[in-house]
Structure 1
């Protein structure tokens, strides 16, 4: 019986209310009947997890280096005491302690949220030699350490790196409030929204420049935004800074708050005008699914994969993120064609409700747990 099997999710990096870890994976496998515990840092700003999931808080550390040195071993000690049937970890810095937890009688799962190496070596302060050295060294060490682990992949293209990995894609949970929400009952406003973590690689400066490109548009950021990026966004906006709105400076914004924000305003579009980087060129951006779930058209960068996705689902407009005239025309097209804007939003919502939703992935994850646990009987 599943209720006799203990599953422990472990993260030293992600927020305890991380949408993928908590809201999707932990709650779904709990609903399937497994005994679920989450090892994660405690956030004093958001309170405790719900009673549905047992949360064992980890100590927080000032600075990334301290966290990487001390948090994994703290997680290891607490995890070992739990003697779980499945240890499901979410951060590369936990690889070694996860290997120490691996026994013949349990399953260890490596949840690959992102292409860590591609993300790391894009740092400008690393020269070409160091980038190559880091890439080869990490891949070699990772391959050895994670050999006995099962792997689940949040993104399709990660299978190029982890050929034995199983897709458990980061599709959204269908929000029932979104299903009944009608955008045609009120005028569409000259407001664009960006949700999720804010940084330069996710287009912070490009989005901050939008009020300079269009004379009436207001740009809203809703998600954790370090103060230094907020300052850069406001500097880019210049004299139009009054049309920049940032909710989440140095603070995590819970999933429920973000989802309610989609309903509170009749947004013109959700934006994802990212600069081209290897890290994002191949991704199907999770943000797309979230905007689609809310019934919003998308304005995004015209990377080949992104443009193909937008055209497949007829859910938005893809433009060159550095072409201000093209961005202006995309914004103006949605303003001048509200029926078409609503149609794009409805196309995206339909795709999420019928196909691109978390339920399909949750069922697969539970099936994988069942299969892997049966192998160690």
Structure 2
């Protein structure tokens, strides 16, 4: 008999302390009285103990060849579990659901879509260009077959919904808003003016634009600016980033922290002056709101973001910052210099962002949607 208060949540790609999965969804479900078994990738960081939440670590590997072995291990664990709810977080794990449905016809199967994966295929640099469109068509066929086994799909963005109107199961948008935190006392010094970026560090998320930006600012205003980068990046990219830093003598200007536990990023925000979100205009980014925009608002940080239409409307409506092309370095420099020269005036952008966050953009709102729609709590 299936246990109606037990959930198996699993990922074959995400690390165990992924912010959305662990600190938001899994903790919320444990707080609601569920017993949560969470399977995810070991990243070497010490596992956080939390009542009602058990973390099961899968060995890390850089090789994609090991993925099917993870799928098999996760399927065996799911088959052996007496949980009523199964909550998966990766497109590849959809492959397990038809078979799991046959084994557990009364289980509730949920797919949590973090990104529009078929749309994202077209910009995956590790896939040869000639294979991207055929692979996208193959994935769409796979999704159509496997999603028939789902009870629910969770979309991280409402824009994904239009691509999945044909799917007959329940569909809910659960935005990736930050957890609710009290306002952070700002710890700002007169100098240097601190720019911050938090999130996965990749070329299409603007790492080299940010580095060029801080290089040019350092040339114009020695020791008056610095850049903090918090988030994971691949070893190959880190080599290129470090080469840029050494070549341009930015060792004391650019501070790289790697992946930082979610509770600790707020201290970094408290010591910063401006949040950067200079993503490139690729399809998946144009159709979604970056989580860091909401985090900057929660931390009362003014925002400097890419001039995507939806982002521009959002930032202008909340009067929480400004936008520019991520490739227009001169314009970006001008906007940063304005804010550094008038910190009291532009602090109001951060205050307005904080107010909007408190009223509309925190995880407590989204948690209730998830609990009520998927897990029948009221």
Q: Name the SS of the counterpart of 2:141 in structure 1.
A: helix
Is the counterpart of residue 155 in structure 1 residue 173 in structure 2?
no
Is the counterpart of residue 288 in structure 1 residue 293 in structure 2?
yes
User: Which position in structure 2 is the counterpart of 1:232?
Assistant: 240
User: Which position in structure 1 is the counterpart of 2:221?
Assistant: none
Matches of 1:46 and 1:197, distance apart in 2 = 20
Matches of 1:241 and 1:338, distance apart in 2 = 24
User: Which position in structure 2 is the counterpart of 1:22?
Assistant: 22
- Pairwise mapping of residues 1-377 of structure 1 onto structure 2 (< 5 A)? 4-66=4-66, 68-102=67-101, 103-124=104-125, 126=127, 129-149=130-150, 150-163=152-165, 165-176=171-182, 179-182=183-186, 187=190, 189-215=192-218, 216-237=224-245, 238-242=247-251, 243-248=253-258, 252-263=259-270, 265=271, 267-371=272-376
Cα separation, partners in 2 of 1:3 and 1:339, compared to 1, 3 Å: farther
- In the TM superposition, residue 180 of structure 1 has moved relative to its aligned partner by 4.9
Q: Name the SS of the counterpart of 2:248 in structure 1.
A: helix
Kept in 2: contact 1:3–1:34 (CA 8 A): no
- In the TM superposition, residue 244 of structure 1 has moved relative to its aligned partner by 1.4
- In the TM superposition, residue 59 of structure 1 has moved relative to its aligned partner by 3.3
Matches of 2:46 and 2:358, distance apart in 1 = 29
Gaps of 5+ in 2: 219-223
Kept in 2: contact 1:118–1:278 (CA 8 A): yes
Kept in 2: contact 1:16–1:42 (CA 8 A): yes
Q: Deviations over 1:201-245 (max 9, x none)?
A: 111111111122213321110111223222322434432422111
Gaps of 5+ in 1: none
| TM-score of the aligned structures, taking structure 2 as reference length | 0.90
Q: Deviations over 1:292-346 (max 9, x none)?
A: 1111111111111111111011111101111111011110111122122210111
- RMSD of aligned residue pairs (Cα, Å): 2.2
Kept in 1: contact 2:303–2:321 (CA 8 A): yes
* Number of equivalent positions: 363
Matches of 1:3 and 1:329, distance apart in 2 = 59
- In the TM superposition, residue 151 of structure 1 has moved relative to its aligned partner by 0.1
- In the TM superposition, residue 27 of structure 1 has moved relative to its aligned partner by 0.9
Matches of 2:286 and 2:193, distance apart in 1 = 29
Kept in 2: contact 1:5–1:35 (CA 8 A): yes
Kept in 1: contact 2:33–2:52 (CA 8 A): no
Matches of 2:136 and 2:174, distance apart in 1 = 25
Kept in 1: contact 2:4–2:83 (CA 8 A): no
Matches of 1:188 and 1:338, distance apart in 2 = 11
Q: Name the SS of the counterpart of 1:147 in structure 2.
A: helix
Matches of 2:345 and 2:137, distance apart in 1 = 48
Kept in 2: contact 1:205–1:232 (CA 8 A): no
Q: Name the SS of the counterpart of 2:367 in structure 1.
A: helix
- In the TM superposition, residue 129 of structure 1 has moved relative to its aligned partner by 4.7
Matches of 2:56 and 2:144, distance apart in 1 = 29
- In the TM superposition, residue 24 of structure 1 has moved relative to its aligned partner by 0.6
- Of the structure 1 ranges 25-34 and 209-218, higher mean CA displacement relative to structure 2 is found in 209-218
